[in-house]
Structure 1
């Protein structure tokens, strides 16, 4: 047992690339995959927080040369790439009229086109794998209307549609593509948002109450879902979105 999770050998011999792997959900996913036997490269703008047992590589998903070099290094160090976790993303607050056009372009450049860049760079390596899988980090914002999240929701809606289209395009090549849809997760980004709120405790209480489970999702819970979708034991699962949201997407509880 390590970090509260059971180590297995499900991923023995497999190599994974995790973008946004320096913290939060990305680091949790990378750690989970490594505990299950994978060789893992964490691609991040700041990989300084990546533990020594993982490979930390600097990568800017908005820069194609940076992406190609990071994926190349990961493939060389780990003898290929079998799994890609497209987790890098940024958030945004605002209605359809409050975010600037530069913000719209910037968020889509990271959250959507970043997935395109990383996937394009990794596809030649994935095509050589007998257990190729891609998991994109989407969001409850893709399937539920959340206030003050127009830009972020639009980008994650695009991720959901892109996941399904990629799954159709690459099924014949033996590459599975799925996504996870976390609810509000206890990540560094959420904690930074809470810190800027007028009343952080009250805001946290509201976020907890928004999910039927009454609490934030943990990074480890999202990582477990990612590991399930990426693993060889999920060979029949593709084109799927898996909600990890405390019931927020599907449940309507009576108060």
Structure 2
């Protein structure tokens, strides 16, 4: 079950955090994985490591906010092999309210988290249609549906991801293209460790425990847990699922009261 043998998957931001876990999981499941990553050196190292473990993984330098760059890379891949899966994982975070968010930061969040998803979807759909269908999986967040303090622009962007997911799922049913999204709560990634080190030097352990305790289940998610959900949703076993947002949140949305 959940085999991706003979499938080609494109994963944006696939060299770190949740994206890395998805790349690792998909490679182990037999997919040919193309990592689309701003940091090409990091992506190439991941590709080398996973290939050494028996995977088929390739790295590409991509700025998802640049449509010409995205088109060139995705069309280049599609010219050599059929594309079956796109995982829109690349994204950036931001802390701030509507008052404290600058125009520059708002536009930066929009360009990566919203326009980046559009650019990749816009480029990949013709390939999926030509191949008789496929899967698009978007990375949203519980911030799309729950009021979180100081996450104005980030929440805006993830709300757009959920809405785009529903629209894509509806528009491409007849083309056998499924589209879903995943909404994680806090996930223990290097981003979290870096944030704590910068913001609370000397108090990292204490603050980590406080953040973990906000999840009713009592801990943060592991990246590989999100990777496992991504594998299921992109596998043939999930063939009856489209237009859905999957929270993976340790009970945060429904039980945090």
Q: Which residue of 1 aligns with 2:73?
A: 70
Of the candidates 230, 236, 248, which is equivalent to residue 232 of structure 1? 236
**Any conservation in 1 of the 2:128–2:134 contact (CA below 8 Å)?**
yes
Of the candidates 220, 226, 240, which is equivalent to residue 222 of structure 1? 226
> Post-superposition shift, 1:244?
0.9
Matched, 1:57 2:60: yes
Q: Which residue of 1 aligns with 2:54?
A: none
Distance in 2, matches of 1:186 and 1:201, equals: 13
Distance in 1, matches of 2:245 and 2:72, equals: 29
Distance in 2, matches of 1:96 and 1:9, equals: 42
Q: Please state which structure has a larger fraction of its residues in helix.
A: 2
> Post-superposition shift, 1:182?
0.6
Q: Which consecutive unaligned segments of at least 5 residues does structure 2 have?
A: 52-56
> Post-superposition shift, 1:9?
6.8
**Any conservation in 1 of the 2:7–2:83 contact (CA below 8 Å)?**
yes
Matched, 1:175 2:177: yes
Q: Which residue of 2 aligns with 1:83?
A: 85
Distance in 2, matches of 1:237 and 1:230, equals: 10
Q: Which residue of 2 aligns with 1:47?
A: 40
TM-score relative to the length of structure 2? 0.91
**Any conservation in 2 of the 1:17–1:74 contact (CA below 8 Å)?**
no
Q: Which residue of 2 aligns with 1:205?
A: 209
Where 1:17 maps in the other structure, the secondary structure is strand
Where 2:47 maps in the other structure, the secondary structure is coil
**Any conservation in 1 of the 2:132–2:175 contact (CA below 8 Å)?**
no
Q: Which residue of 2 aligns with 1:124?
A: 126
Where 1:249 maps in the other structure, the secondary structure is helix
> Post-superposition shift, 1:74?
2.6
Distance in 1, matches of 2:31 and 2:130, equals: 17
TM-score relative to the length of structure 1? 0.92
Distance in 1, matches of 2:93 and 2:146, equals: 16
Distance in 2, matches of 1:252 and 1:163, equals: 26
When the two chains are superposed, the root-mean-square deviation of aligned CA atoms in Å is 1.4
Q: Which consecutive unaligned segments of at least 5 residues does structure 1 have?
A: 1-7
Deviating beyond 3 angstroms after TM superposition, the runs of 4 or more aligned structure 1 residues are: none
